[in-house]
Structures are given as C-alpha cells and as structure tokens.
Amino acid sequence: MQLDEPIEVKIYEWNTGGLLTRIEGLRAFLPKFELMDRISTFTDLKNNVSRSICVCIIRLDEETNDLIVSEKKAWEMTYLKEGALLKGNVHKIFPYGAQVRITGTNRSGLLHISNISQGRVLSVSDILKVDDELKVLVIKSNVSDKIALSIADLESAPGLFLSNKAKVFSEAEEMAKRYREQLLVVSRNTKLDYDLPGETIPFDNEATLYANWKWFKFLRHAKSGDGNDRT
C-alpha cells in the first residue's frame, strides 16, 4: 500500500457486495463498484471466482483486518499513464471531438478535435464514424479524472491521419515509445530546473559570495602607461 503499486491476486469467493481474495494471508474485499466490468447480476460476480485480477490496496485497518482493494485504480495506474497506447472504438461523435470507448473496459475518453490530427480538421464527422476502431495515446488532461486521448501525437508527419490512417496505426507503437521518451527528457530537465537556486542569492553579503568563487581571480587594474595593464 505504501508503494502504491498494483498487485495480482486470485479471487476465491464472492458475496452480494463483491469479491473476496487474500493478500499476505489477510482476507481482502473487492467491492463490485471497484471492478472494471459492470456487474448486473449475481452470476456476473460468481463468474469472477478463480480469476486473477490486478488490484491496488485503497484502505487498510490493521486493528480490524479491514482490507479493501480496487481493480479500477490498478487499471488506471497501469493504463492511464500519460504516453500509454490504447485501443478503442468511437462511441459518440460531437462537434468538438469524439467519445472513444476503451477496448475491454466500460471506460471512455475524449478525443478532442484538436488532437485528431496535426493537419486541419474542420468536421469530426468527416474524419471519424461511430464504431471506427482506433489506436489512441493517453495525454495529459486539463480536467481532473477525465481521460484525454490523441491521434495527432501518433502521426510521423503532420496530417498523416487524414490521408493514411492505416500507416498511423501501423506506426503507433513506435510513435508512442518516442512520446514516452520525450516525457522522460522533459521530466529530467524539470527536475534540474527545480534543483537550481532561486532568484535570491544564498549569501548574506557580496564578500561571502565572492569568497565562494574560488575559481574567480581578481586582478588590480593598473593605470594606463605604467606598463602593467591588466585585462
């Protein structure tokens, strides 16, 4: 739980509220609303018995052995990181973009019109149709808890999706890898920027400041004509 990382567990029992498993010998409960698949009947719950599921611990009370886990959080941590490549189908078309249902889940993300292509897109419906199969990249969202998607960042050339969708999707894995590599570079540079001192000089006075410049040598500037001019 401290590492906040997904772990794989096996479901051994079910009840009307969810599924039961064990972690390090402790009984853990997976509520049905924390499952990725929508549960409509008790049969849906029962069918999960003996299934292996990746979960995250979301609550732990050591005194009562109350251990609650979530498949949703584990999935989000694994697949909703910026730079993750997902498959999906167009579920709805809007004037400002398309709702894309992510394959194998009941989750959807928004493919904004500005993220469909680096080329000019005047109408979403001219480019995409309901049920179209897509490969999309998870990008940073400006809205909390919203999944922002992009195809434009998968284009190896501006506007390629408008002329050759198949080529964009065939190159998607490589372009997604490049995107993640760029994220790492930006992350490292940001860290270096944070490590730099701020605008305030960390010394009480100039004498203390100059005393720390051991590589800096001051030379007296002689008057012109004495033969000892210094630069």
- What distance in Å separates the CA atoms of residue 215 and residue 231, rounded to the nearest whole number? 17
What's the confidence (pLDDT) of residue 46? 92
What does residue 54 show for φ and ψ, rounded to 5 degrees? -85, 130
What's the confidence (pLDDT) of residue 114? 95
Domain edges within the chain: 5-78, 81-165+181-187
pLDDT digits (tens, 9 = 90+) for 65-120: 789 999 988 988 887 888 999 999 999 999 999 999 998 777 889 999 999 999 99
pLDDT digits (tens, 9 = 90+) for 74-83: 988 887 888 9
The radius of gyration of the chain from alpha carbons, rounded to an integer in Å, stands at 28
Assigned superfamily of 81-165+181-187: Nucleic acid-binding proteins (2.40.50.140)
Whether the CB-CB separation of 35 and 71 falls below 8 Å is answered with yes
pLDDT digits (tens, 9 = 90+) for 173-226: 999 999 999 988 876 765 555 555 554 444 444 444 444 444 445 556 555 555
Class of domain 5-78: mainly beta
Whether the domain at 5-78 and the domain at 81-165+181-187 fall into the same CATH topology: yes
79 contact partners, CB below 8 Å, separation of at least 6:
86, 102, 138
Whether the CB-CB separation of 36 and 72 falls below 8 Å is answered with yes
